[in-house]
Amino acid sequence: MKKTLFLALFLWMTQLAFARQNYDTVKIRPIKVVENLYMLKGAGGNIGVLFGKDGTLMIDDQFAPLSNKINGAIKTIDPGEIRFLINTHLHGDHTGGNENFKKMGITIVAHEQVRNRMLTEQKSARGTAPPRDKDALPVITFADQLNVHLNEEDIELIHFDKGHTDGDVIVHFKKANVYHTGDAFVRYGYPFIDLSSGGSLHGFVNTLDKLLLLLDDNSKVIPGHGELATKADVKAVRDAMADIRDQVTAALKKGKKPEEIAALNITDKYDATYGKGFLKGKDFVLMAAESLSVKK
């Protein structure tokens, strides 16, 4: 089990390393979501940007070497001051540029667990990561919900549950009916549940359940990775992950070992849709089994 999980995590880090090696060729591509609200694609997590007379708010910042490109792309759309940067969670493909943007005078906002983890050494199957530099740290944190009122928009920052990590934040632009989910919802394939950062498959599904209660058929969803999504897209991921969770749970209750569960072909019907990412079906099942085996 550990070997398979290590392979999955190794593939994750390989993907990030590939992005790091190609920064010179990365292009930051703005995609208009609604008036004054854009998604920026590059390398790493999708960036959200809200423009207006009160200044600019951005969500996530990808990798440090891309900060100048990202800043340039934002200023091309609107030259106004960038005032706030929201981190949707801890990972470096979403927070790697924190130091650079904070030095520009931008205020960083995140869940309290993001700051807590940045302050300490983080250990996982990937290795050990040192504490982040003080300039990377969020200066405003919250536990469950924080409201921001900017550019005639009411913005909710919501922490539903421990899912992808224990510091996941979903950003809801209420008037625009747009949601930025960070990696609480992704479209690259089977989702990565970072158990070493407090993640949980139960929490991942629970978060999507709560998100679906807020979404309607006109909602637009900016995922942590992948293309713009709809409520139907979120529900499809939720239903698939809930089904896998329930089957793995049932097998564990029957006394099956994780290696035996991986051989049950639980994900066969989903592999064509979700198996194209860095995690394959059997690896996801092993990750699910480990998550579901953790004593509460």
Looking at residues 122-139, what average pLDDT do you find?
84
Helix, strand, coil distribution of the chain in percent, nearest 5: 40, 20, 40
Whether the pLDDT of residue 17 is over 60: the answer is no
Question: In Å, how far are 10, 17, 64, 113, 248 from 126, measured between CA atoms?
Answer: 7, 12, 20, 20, 25
User: What's the pLDDT band for 16 if we cut at 50, 70, 90?
Assistant: low
Cβ atoms of 230 and 221 within 8 Å: the answer is: yes
Q: What is the pLDDT of residue 8?
A: 45
Q: Residue 177 belongs to what domain range? A: 21-230
Q: What is the pLDDT of residue 40?
A: 98
Q: Which residues pair with 124 in a beta bridge?
A: 127
Q: What is the pLDDT of residue 277?
A: 87
| C-alpha span between 59 and 46 (Å, rounded) | 8
Q: What is the pLDDT of residue 58?
A: 98
135-161 confidence digits (pLDDT tens): 999 999 999 999 999 999 999 999 999
Cα 153 to chain centroid distance, Å, stands at 23
Q: What is the pLDDT of residue 270?
A: 98
Number of domains in the chain: 1
Least confident of 2-6, 51-55, 56-60: 2-6
Mean pLDDT for all residues in the chain: 92
CATH of residue 122's domain is 3.60.15.10
Does residue 7 lie within any of the structural domains?
A: no
Does residue 260 lie within any of the structural domains?
A: no
Does residue 93 lie within any of the structural domains?
A: yes
234-246 confidence digits (pLDDT tens): 999 999 999 999 9
Q: What is the pLDDT of residue 124?
A: 64
Q: What is the pLDDT of residue 165?
A: 96
Q: Going by DSSP bridges, is the β-strand pair 82-86/56-59 parallel, antiparallel, or unpaired?
A: parallel
Does residue 169 lie within any of the structural domains?
A: yes
Q: Going by DSSP bridges, is the β-strand pair 170-173/153-158 parallel, antiparallel, or unpaired?
A: antiparallel
66-108 confidence digits (pLDDT tens): 999 999 999 999 999 999 999 999 999 999 999 999 999 999 9
Does residue 255 lie within any of the structural domains?
A: no
Does residue 194 lie within any of the structural domains?
A: yes
Does residue 154 lie within any of the structural domains?
A: yes
Looking at residues 253-279, what average pLDDT do you find?
94
Top pLDDT among 129 and 248 is at: 248
Does residue 81 lie within any of the structural domains?
A: yes
